[in-house]
Amino acid sequence: MRSIAGWPRQFMAAFFCVLLSGVALAQGKPNVVVLATGGTIAGAGADVTNSATYQAAKVPVDKLIAGIPQLTDIANVRGEQVFQVASESLKNENLLTLGHRVSDLLKRDDVDGIVITHGTDTTEETAYFLNLVIHSDKPIVVVASMRPGTAMSADGMLNLYNAVSVAGNRESRGRGVLVVMNDEINSGRDVAKTINIRPDAFKSPWGDLGMIVEGKTYWFRRLDKRHTSTSEFDIDKIKSLPLVEIAYASGNVSDTAYRAFAQEGAKAIIHAGPGNGSVSGSLVPVLQELRAKGIQIIRSSHVNGGGFVLRNAEQPDDKYDWVVAHDLNPQKARILATVALSLTNDSKELQRIFMQY
Protein backbone atom coordinates (compact mmCIF):
# COMPACT_ATOMS: atom_id res chain seq x y z
CA MET A 1 0.00 0.00 0.00
CA ARG A 2 1.45 3.35 -1.01
CA SER A 3 1.93 6.00 1.68
CA ILE A 4 0.34 9.42 1.35
CA ALA A 5 3.74 10.83 0.49
CA GLY A 6 3.75 8.69 -2.64
CA TRP A 7 0.38 9.85 -3.94
CA PRO A 8 0.25 11.79 -7.20
CA ARG A 9 0.06 15.55 -6.72
CA GLN A 10 -3.53 15.82 -7.97
CA PHE A 11 -4.67 13.13 -5.48
CA MET A 12 -2.80 14.91 -2.70
CA ALA A 13 -4.56 18.19 -3.56
CA ALA A 14 -7.96 16.52 -3.65
CA PHE A 15 -7.33 14.75 -0.32
CA PHE A 16 -6.40 17.95 1.48
CA CYS A 17 -9.35 19.81 -0.06
CA VAL A 18 -11.70 17.17 1.37
CA LEU A 19 -9.88 17.26 4.73
CA LEU A 20 -9.98 21.05 4.98
CA SER A 21 -13.63 21.20 3.95
CA GLY A 22 -14.44 18.73 6.72
CA VAL A 23 -12.58 20.88 9.23
CA ALA A 24 -14.37 23.98 7.98
CA LEU A 25 -17.72 22.19 8.29
CA ALA A 26 -16.94 21.16 11.88
CA GLN A 27 -15.87 24.70 12.67
CA GLY A 28 -19.10 25.98 11.14
CA LYS A 29 -21.25 23.98 13.54
CA PRO A 30 -22.36 25.71 16.74
CA ASN A 31 -20.54 24.94 19.99
CA VAL A 32 -23.00 23.77 22.64
CA VAL A 33 -22.14 22.91 26.24
CA VAL A 34 -24.40 20.46 28.06
CA LEU A 35 -24.46 21.15 31.79
CA ALA A 36 -25.85 18.20 33.73
CA THR A 37 -27.57 18.45 37.09
CA GLY A 38 -29.27 15.06 37.43
CA GLY A 39 -32.97 14.24 37.20
CA THR A 40 -35.04 11.60 35.40
CA ILE A 41 -33.23 12.27 32.15
CA ALA A 42 -30.21 10.80 33.93
CA GLY A 43 -32.28 8.13 35.69
CA ALA A 44 -32.45 4.35 35.45
CA GLY A 45 -35.16 1.83 36.26
CA ALA A 46 -34.89 -1.85 37.10
CA ASP A 47 -36.97 -2.91 34.10
CA VAL A 48 -38.05 -1.50 30.73
CA THR A 49 -41.63 -1.38 32.00
CA ASN A 50 -40.65 1.03 34.81
CA SER A 51 -41.60 4.47 33.53
CA ALA A 52 -42.56 5.98 36.89
CA THR A 53 -40.51 3.84 39.30
CA TYR A 54 -36.78 4.44 39.00
CA GLN A 55 -33.76 6.14 40.52
CA ALA A 56 -33.05 9.65 39.25
CA ALA A 57 -29.64 11.27 38.75
CA LYS A 58 -27.67 8.09 38.01
CA VAL A 59 -26.29 8.47 34.46
CA PRO A 60 -23.31 10.86 34.00
CA VAL A 61 -23.40 13.50 31.29
CA ASP A 62 -20.74 11.91 29.07
CA LYS A 63 -22.83 8.76 28.85
CA LEU A 64 -25.95 10.77 28.00
CA ILE A 65 -24.15 12.51 25.15
CA ALA A 66 -22.49 9.32 23.89
CA GLY A 67 -25.90 7.66 23.72
CA ILE A 68 -26.96 10.10 20.97
CA PRO A 69 -24.23 9.99 18.29
CA GLN A 70 -26.44 12.08 15.99
CA LEU A 71 -25.64 15.12 18.15
CA THR A 72 -22.34 15.45 16.28
CA ASP A 73 -24.33 16.11 13.10
CA ILE A 74 -25.84 19.32 14.48
CA ALA A 75 -23.29 20.75 16.91
CA ASN A 76 -19.91 20.45 18.54
CA VAL A 77 -21.07 19.18 21.92
CA ARG A 78 -19.22 18.76 25.18
CA GLY A 79 -20.59 17.95 28.59
CA GLU A 80 -19.93 19.08 32.13
CA GLN A 81 -21.38 17.61 35.34
CA VAL A 82 -22.26 20.60 37.53
CA PHE A 83 -23.85 18.40 40.17
CA GLN A 84 -25.88 15.18 40.28
CA VAL A 85 -28.99 15.85 42.34
CA ALA A 86 -32.66 14.89 42.14
CA SER A 87 -34.29 18.24 41.41
CA GLU A 88 -36.69 18.21 44.35
CA SER A 89 -33.56 18.46 46.55
CA LEU A 90 -32.04 21.49 44.85
CA LYS A 91 -31.16 24.36 47.19
CA ASN A 92 -30.62 28.07 46.57
CA GLU A 93 -26.89 27.32 46.65
CA ASN A 94 -27.32 24.94 43.71
CA LEU A 95 -29.13 27.63 41.73
CA LEU A 96 -26.31 30.08 42.38
CA THR A 97 -23.64 27.53 41.42
CA LEU A 98 -25.44 26.73 38.18
CA GLY A 99 -26.15 30.38 37.40
CA HIS A 100 -22.54 31.45 37.86
CA ARG A 101 -21.32 28.58 35.66
CA VAL A 102 -23.80 29.42 32.89
CA SER A 103 -22.79 33.08 33.03
CA ASP A 104 -19.08 32.26 32.86
CA LEU A 105 -19.50 29.93 29.88
CA LEU A 106 -21.66 32.33 27.87
CA LYS A 107 -18.97 35.00 28.10
CA ARG A 108 -16.68 32.76 26.02
CA ASP A 109 -16.44 33.19 22.26
CA ASP A 110 -16.24 29.42 21.75
CA VAL A 111 -19.66 28.80 23.37
CA ASP A 112 -22.75 29.49 21.26
CA GLY A 113 -25.40 27.99 23.51
CA ILE A 114 -26.05 26.10 26.72
CA VAL A 115 -28.21 23.06 27.42
CA ILE A 116 -29.02 22.15 31.02
CA THR A 117 -30.28 18.65 31.80
CA HIS A 118 -32.55 18.79 34.82
CA GLY A 119 -35.12 16.95 36.89
CA THR A 120 -38.72 17.78 36.01
CA ASP A 121 -39.87 18.48 39.57
CA THR A 122 -38.24 21.92 39.65
CA THR A 123 -37.39 22.52 35.98
CA GLU A 124 -39.76 25.50 35.87
CA GLU A 125 -38.10 27.09 38.91
CA THR A 126 -34.52 26.76 37.66
CA ALA A 127 -35.49 27.94 34.17
CA TYR A 128 -37.20 31.03 35.59
CA PHE A 129 -34.29 31.78 37.90
CA LEU A 130 -31.84 31.73 34.98
CA ASN A 131 -34.29 33.77 32.89
CA LEU A 132 -34.06 36.49 35.55
CA VAL A 133 -30.33 36.62 36.28
CA ILE A 134 -28.28 35.65 33.19
CA HIS A 135 -27.15 38.61 31.08
CA SER A 136 -26.72 37.08 27.64
CA ASP A 137 -28.64 36.80 24.38
CA LYS A 138 -27.14 33.39 23.67
CA PRO A 139 -29.61 30.49 23.87
CA ILE A 140 -30.06 28.74 27.22
CA VAL A 141 -32.20 25.61 27.02
CA VAL A 142 -33.36 23.56 30.00
CA VAL A 143 -34.29 19.99 29.10
CA ALA A 144 -35.72 17.12 31.09
CA SER A 145 -37.62 13.88 30.59
CA MET A 146 -40.60 12.25 32.22
CA ARG A 147 -39.30 8.71 31.70
CA PRO A 148 -35.86 7.26 32.44
CA GLY A 149 -33.70 6.20 29.53
CA THR A 150 -34.15 2.53 30.49
CA ALA A 151 -37.93 2.64 29.95
CA MET A 152 -39.88 1.70 26.85
CA SER A 153 -40.75 4.83 24.89
CA ALA A 154 -38.24 6.90 26.86
CA ASP A 155 -38.42 10.56 25.93
CA GLY A 156 -34.99 11.75 27.08
CA MET A 157 -32.97 11.05 23.93
CA LEU A 158 -35.23 13.02 21.60
CA ASN A 159 -35.68 15.80 24.14
CA LEU A 160 -31.91 16.21 24.48
CA TYR A 161 -31.35 16.08 20.71
CA ASN A 162 -34.01 18.77 20.22
CA ALA A 163 -32.57 20.87 23.04
CA VAL A 164 -29.10 20.86 21.45
CA SER A 165 -30.63 21.76 18.10
CA VAL A 166 -32.51 24.71 19.62
CA ALA A 167 -29.47 25.86 21.63
CA GLY A 168 -27.33 25.86 18.50
CA ASN A 169 -29.85 27.78 16.42
CA ARG A 170 -29.12 31.51 16.06
CA GLU A 171 -32.87 32.16 15.80
CA SER A 172 -33.11 31.10 19.47
CA ARG A 173 -31.05 34.10 20.59
CA GLY A 174 -32.72 36.81 22.62
CA ARG A 175 -35.81 34.75 23.48
CA GLY A 176 -34.97 34.18 27.13
CA VAL A 177 -34.40 30.84 28.80
CA LEU A 178 -36.26 28.06 27.01
CA VAL A 179 -37.61 24.68 28.11
CA VAL A 180 -37.62 22.01 25.39
CA MET A 181 -39.66 18.84 25.91
CA ASN A 182 -42.16 16.76 23.95
CA ASP A 183 -41.30 18.63 20.69
CA GLU A 184 -42.42 21.93 22.26
CA ILE A 185 -40.40 25.06 23.02
CA ASN A 186 -41.74 26.88 26.05
CA SER A 187 -40.62 29.98 27.90
CA GLY A 188 -38.89 29.27 31.19
CA ARG A 189 -40.90 32.20 32.52
CA ASP A 190 -44.32 30.70 31.76
CA VAL A 191 -43.98 26.93 31.67
CA ALA A 192 -45.13 24.68 34.50
CA LYS A 193 -45.31 20.96 35.19
CA THR A 194 -49.00 20.12 34.98
CA ILE A 195 -49.02 16.34 35.42
CA ASN A 196 -46.50 13.92 36.87
CA ILE A 197 -46.85 10.74 34.76
CA ARG A 198 -47.04 11.74 31.08
CA PRO A 199 -44.41 13.00 28.63
CA ASP A 200 -46.61 16.00 27.72
CA ALA A 201 -46.36 17.25 31.31
CA PHE A 202 -45.08 20.78 30.65
CA LYS A 203 -47.46 23.49 29.48
CA SER A 204 -47.58 27.28 29.40
CA PRO A 205 -50.91 28.95 30.21
CA TRP A 206 -50.29 31.49 27.43
CA GLY A 207 -49.09 28.93 24.87
CA ASP A 208 -45.72 27.63 23.74
CA LEU A 209 -43.17 29.74 21.87
CA GLY A 210 -42.55 27.21 19.13
CA MET A 211 -42.06 23.61 18.13
CA ILE A 212 -39.20 21.49 16.90
CA VAL A 213 -39.81 18.70 14.38
CA GLU A 214 -37.01 16.45 13.12
CA GLY A 215 -34.44 18.95 14.30
CA LYS A 216 -36.04 21.96 12.63
CA THR A 217 -37.33 24.84 14.77
CA TYR A 218 -40.63 26.65 14.13
CA TRP A 219 -41.35 29.83 16.12
CA PHE A 220 -44.82 31.23 16.90
CA ARG A 221 -44.34 34.08 19.40
CA ARG A 222 -41.92 35.91 21.70
CA LEU A 223 -41.92 36.55 25.44
CA ASP A 224 -42.97 40.12 26.21
CA LYS A 225 -41.74 40.17 29.83
CA ARG A 226 -38.26 41.39 30.80
CA HIS A 227 -35.61 38.68 30.84
CA THR A 228 -31.90 37.84 30.52
CA SER A 229 -30.03 40.74 28.89
CA THR A 230 -32.85 43.23 29.67
CA SER A 231 -33.10 42.19 33.32
CA GLU A 232 -32.00 44.43 36.19
CA PHE A 233 -30.80 41.35 38.07
CA ASP A 234 -27.30 40.01 37.43
CA ILE A 235 -26.01 36.65 38.65
CA ASP A 236 -22.47 38.03 38.75
CA LYS A 237 -23.56 40.39 41.54
CA ILE A 238 -25.62 37.90 43.55
CA LYS A 239 -23.68 36.06 46.24
CA SER A 240 -26.56 34.77 48.36
CA LEU A 241 -30.35 34.54 48.25
CA PRO A 242 -32.75 35.44 51.08
CA LEU A 243 -35.21 32.94 52.49
CA VAL A 244 -38.67 33.02 50.91
CA GLU A 245 -41.30 30.42 51.79
CA ILE A 246 -44.66 29.31 50.39
CA ALA A 247 -47.70 28.79 52.63
CA TYR A 248 -50.51 26.83 50.96
CA ALA A 249 -53.96 28.03 51.89
CA SER A 250 -57.21 26.10 51.66
CA GLY A 251 -60.45 25.82 53.58
CA ASN A 252 -59.97 25.67 57.36
CA VAL A 253 -56.38 26.95 56.99
CA SER A 254 -54.51 27.84 60.20
CA ASP A 255 -51.75 30.39 60.76
CA THR A 256 -49.21 27.74 61.85
CA ALA A 257 -47.12 27.70 58.68
CA TYR A 258 -47.05 31.49 58.36
CA ARG A 259 -45.84 32.00 61.92
CA ALA A 260 -43.30 29.20 61.65
CA PHE A 261 -41.81 30.62 58.47
CA ALA A 262 -41.58 34.05 60.07
CA GLN A 263 -39.86 32.57 63.11
CA GLU A 264 -37.31 30.84 60.84
CA GLY A 265 -36.34 34.18 59.31
CA ALA A 266 -38.31 34.27 56.05
CA LYS A 267 -38.01 37.67 54.37
CA ALA A 268 -41.18 37.06 52.38
CA ILE A 269 -44.06 34.60 52.45
CA ILE A 270 -45.88 33.58 49.29
CA HIS A 271 -49.52 33.10 50.17
CA ALA A 272 -50.70 30.37 47.77
CA GLY A 273 -54.40 31.07 48.04
CA PRO A 274 -57.45 29.74 46.24
CA GLY A 275 -59.09 31.65 43.41
CA ASN A 276 -57.77 35.18 43.15
CA GLY A 277 -55.18 34.55 45.85
CA SER A 278 -57.99 34.83 48.39
CA VAL A 279 -57.15 35.16 52.09
CA SER A 280 -59.29 33.61 54.81
CA GLY A 281 -60.76 36.16 57.19
CA SER A 282 -58.97 34.51 60.11
CA LEU A 283 -55.62 34.91 58.34
CA VAL A 284 -55.90 38.60 57.51
CA PRO A 285 -54.84 39.87 60.97
CA VAL A 286 -51.92 37.41 61.03
CA LEU A 287 -50.61 38.56 57.66
CA GLN A 288 -51.01 42.19 58.71
CA GLU A 289 -49.01 41.43 61.84
CA LEU A 290 -46.21 39.76 59.88
CA ARG A 291 -46.11 42.61 57.37
CA ALA A 292 -45.75 45.08 60.26
CA LYS A 293 -42.64 43.12 61.29
CA GLY A 294 -41.09 43.73 57.85
CA ILE A 295 -41.97 40.44 56.18
CA GLN A 296 -43.28 40.86 52.64
CA ILE A 297 -46.67 39.23 51.98
CA ILE A 298 -47.16 38.19 48.36
CA ARG A 299 -50.55 36.91 47.26
CA SER A 300 -50.53 34.22 44.56
CA SER A 301 -53.06 31.68 43.36
CA HIS A 302 -52.76 27.90 43.48
CA VAL A 303 -55.33 27.57 40.67
CA ASN A 304 -53.97 25.30 37.94
CA GLY A 305 -53.96 26.23 34.27
CA GLY A 306 -53.57 30.01 34.22
CA GLY A 307 -55.08 33.28 35.32
CA PHE A 308 -53.66 35.95 37.58
CA VAL A 309 -54.16 37.69 40.89
CA LEU A 310 -55.72 41.14 40.58
CA ARG A 311 -54.39 43.79 42.90
CA ASN A 312 -56.97 45.17 45.38
CA ALA A 313 -59.46 42.49 44.37
CA GLU A 314 -60.57 40.21 47.20
CA GLN A 315 -58.20 42.07 49.52
CA PRO A 316 -57.21 45.78 49.86
CA ASP A 317 -53.53 45.27 48.97
CA ASP A 318 -52.78 49.00 49.00
CA LYS A 319 -54.15 49.33 52.52
CA TYR A 320 -52.27 46.29 53.86
CA ASP A 321 -49.08 46.98 51.86
CA TRP A 322 -49.17 43.54 50.27
CA VAL A 323 -47.85 42.50 46.86
CA VAL A 324 -49.64 40.39 44.24
CA ALA A 325 -47.83 37.81 42.13
CA HIS A 326 -49.83 38.64 38.98
CA ASP A 327 -49.83 35.48 36.77
CA LEU A 328 -46.92 33.67 38.45
CA ASN A 329 -47.74 30.43 40.22
CA PRO A 330 -46.54 30.14 43.85
CA GLN A 331 -43.25 28.42 43.05
CA LYS A 332 -42.30 30.96 40.39
CA ALA A 333 -43.40 33.78 42.68
CA ARG A 334 -40.97 32.42 45.27
CA ILE A 335 -38.14 32.51 42.73
CA LEU A 336 -38.85 36.09 41.67
CA ALA A 337 -39.25 37.28 45.27
CA THR A 338 -35.97 35.62 46.22
CA VAL A 339 -34.12 37.35 43.39
CA ALA A 340 -35.88 40.71 43.82
CA LEU A 341 -35.20 40.83 47.57
CA SER A 342 -31.50 40.65 46.82
CA LEU A 343 -31.92 44.22 45.49
CA THR A 344 -34.82 45.80 47.37
CA ASN A 345 -37.22 45.35 50.27
CA ASP A 346 -39.58 48.12 49.17
CA SER A 347 -43.07 46.75 48.54
CA LYS A 348 -43.84 49.22 45.73
CA GLU A 349 -40.64 48.24 43.95
CA LEU A 350 -41.49 44.58 44.44
CA GLN A 351 -44.91 45.12 42.89
CA ARG A 352 -43.32 46.84 39.88
CA ILE A 353 -40.97 43.89 39.50
CA PHE A 354 -43.80 41.35 39.63
CA MET A 355 -45.63 43.20 36.88
CA GLN A 356 -42.58 43.52 34.61
CA TYR A 357 -41.06 40.06 34.96
Cβ-contact 45, 148 below 8 angstroms: yes
The answer to whether position 15 is within a domain reads: no
Find the catalytic residue in 37, 40, 122, 338.
40
Q: Among this protein's residues, is 338 annotated catalytic? A: no
The answer to whether position 18 is within a domain reads: no
Label residue 80 left, alpha or beta by phi (over 0 means left) and psi (-120 to 50 means alpha): beta
At 1, which amino acid appears? M
Domain match, 71 and 164 both? yes
Q: Is 136 assigned a ligand-binding role in the annotation?
A: no
The answer to whether position 10 is within a domain reads: no
Structural domain boundaries, residue 292: 243-356
pLDDT digits (tens, 9 = 90+) for 300-336: 999 988 889 999 998 999 999 999 999 999 999 999 9
129, 114, 89, 82 alpha-carbon torsion, rounded to 10°:
-130
Q: Is 282 assigned a ligand-binding role in the annotation?
A: no
Q: What are phi and psi of 306, to 5 degrees?
A: 125, 180
pLDDT category at 24 given cuts 50, 70, 90 is: very low
Domain match, 202 and 253 both? no
Please tell me the pTM assigned to this model: 0.89
Domain match, 79 and 212 both? yes
Q: Is 120 assigned a ligand-binding role in the annotation?
A: yes
Task: Tell which of 230, 262, 287 closes a domain.
Answer: 230
Task: Tell which of 204, 230, 256 closes a domain.
Answer: 230
Measured distance CA(257)–CA(330) in Å, rounded: 15
**Domain count within the chain:** 2
Domain match, 134 and 207 both? yes
pLDDT digits (tens, 9 = 90+) for 138-179: 999 999 999 887 777 789 999 999 999 999 999 999 999 999
